[in-house]
A and B are shown apart, each in its own frame.
Chain A
Amino acid sequence: MAPSTRNKLVITASFIAAFILISIPGPKWADQFRPDWVSLVLIYWCLAIPQRVGVGVGWTVGLMLDVLYGSLLGQHALAKTIIAFLTLKLYLRVRMFPPWQQAFFVFLLLAINQLIILWIKGIIGQPTETLTRWTSIIVGMVVWPWLFVILRKVRRHYHVS
């Protein structure tokens, strides 16, 4: 298999896994603790191979999320575009960060993601609950170091670059 096809396959597979993880039905109380897997995977790939995964991939993934959630088309697309862009701008610095600092960076990105979605919802007049959203962001931050290690293993195993 050509390396570029393999790269695309591995990246696509990781996003599909993230999509499945966010849509597996669970008990109602657990929903607010479910991290935003798609954003986390997107941030990882933007950090690891910014020359391949960036704003365009972020936008496409966000559009898919809009279709999956049945939300306003473009809402998640915009949020994911912006966090992909921020990661691309800062990836050289963030790669040097120790894990806890990286996790904090991820926390900021996830918070920006949520803020954009909340703003859009506010503008179009959909009611929003602000407080409970934060639990998902904090869980995302806690999960990040582990996800980072797993995806790095995957990336090295399949020589994605």
Chain B
Amino acid sequence: MDASLGRSLQIRKPSSITRLVMFVILSVVLMMADHQGIRLHQIRASLSIIVYPIQIVAGIPSSIGRWISEAATGKDTLQHDYEELQKQNLSLQARLLKYDALVAENNRFRFLLTSAERVADRVIVAELLYVQPDPFTRSVTISRGTADEIYVRQPVIDAHGIMGQVTSTGIHTSVVTLITDPSHAVPVYVNRNGLRTIAVGTGAPDEINLPYLYNTADIKEGDLLMTSGMGGTFPAGYPVATVTKIINDPNEPSLRISAKPMAKLDHNRELLLIWPGKQPIKLDNEIPANGTEHTK
């Protein structure tokens, strides 16, 4: 016993205090630099290459599960799904036809009003790699990075509305903070009357709050909230959430308003990254310079 104790005392490092102080200082410097927004993207990006295989391996069980459930889907279900999709595709096609016509018409009107032509946004599809394991933040890792020109603060949407924004980028992955994250806020307006406010995440998976509206504000349950474009991160006019509950407590100066995000934050495998205002809508026919009617 004594001999082994003596041996382990001998091989003990002489001073771990100096090493402790060194690493503590290193950590604090890193944190301060990162918090001040000094560009540590390079460090993060190169380290994320080491972490990437771990994320891939961690994703294997769930992808096997998905593969099994897909393989086990019967032929009847597939046939049924196929028919449903066919129908849906048809109706969407029809709607798209109308949409094209409406865009052309809208642009013509805008031209007449001599306002700037509204441009569409460039879009790229990214796959959800995995959900951040820390249960107290709402963020996900996606399969696109700086190699696809992804940048920090880039807006992320799905087919239904705003999902969040990119908060850090690697070469092939990036982290997206969702609008439900407690540290996330989106400038919004009420679609019905244009009332501007800010929607803040709560940490709950399916709820955001509007904490800055006074008791007299004109807002109702069911109101649709759209991005207002204030702050410059999110382009204006994308749906964010619908108001679900308004509590008017006379003891408090502001209303307590909860809203449900439009985007399917918990259900999506694919999400869309947008470059606001990058690529104009391609029309089949150009708008004539004098703004008069034209035929196809």
Contacts and interface: CB of A to CB of B under 8 A. Distances in A.
A20 B57 contact: yes
B228 interface: no
13 contacts: A19-B54, A50-B13, A55-B20, A56-B23, A69-B137, A74-B34, A75-B27, A77-B26, A82-B20, A85-B16, A85-B20, A92-B9, A126-B183
A68 B29 CA distance: 20
B50 to A, nearest CB: 7
Contacts of B150: none
Interface stretch (A3-11, A24-32, A141-149, A152-160): A24-32
B244 interface: no
B19 A92 contact: no
A67 B48 contact: yes
Contacts of B23: 55-56, 58-59, 77, 81
Contact of A67 (B13, B19, B44): B44
A148 B141 CA distance: 32
B136 A73 contact: no
Contacts of A63: 30, 47
Given A16-B54, A54-B16, A81-B20, A72 B133 contact: no
Contacts of B131: 25
- Most chain-B Cβ atoms within 10 A of its Cβ — which of A74, A92, A127, A128? A74
B135 A74 contact: no
B115 interface: no
Nearest to B54: A19
Contacts of A74: 26-31, 34
Contact of B139 (A23, A70, A132): A70
Consensus secondary structure, chain A interface: helix
A150 B144 CA distance: 38
A20 B133 contact: no
B30 A54 contact: no
Contacts of A81: 20, 23-24, 27
A55 B48 CA distance: 22
Interface in A120-142: 120, 124, 126-129, 132-133
A72 B31 contact: yes
B134 A82 contact: no
A71 interface: yes
A1 to B, nearest CB: 22
Interface in B214-232: none
B90 interface: no
Contacts of A64: 47, 50-51
B205 interface: yes
A44 B39 CA distance: 35
A106 interface: no
A88 interface: yes
B168 interface: yes
A50 to B, nearest CB: 7
A67 B47 contact: yes
A141 to B, nearest CB: 18
B43 A73 contact: yes
A68 B51 contact: yes
A159 to B, nearest CB: 16
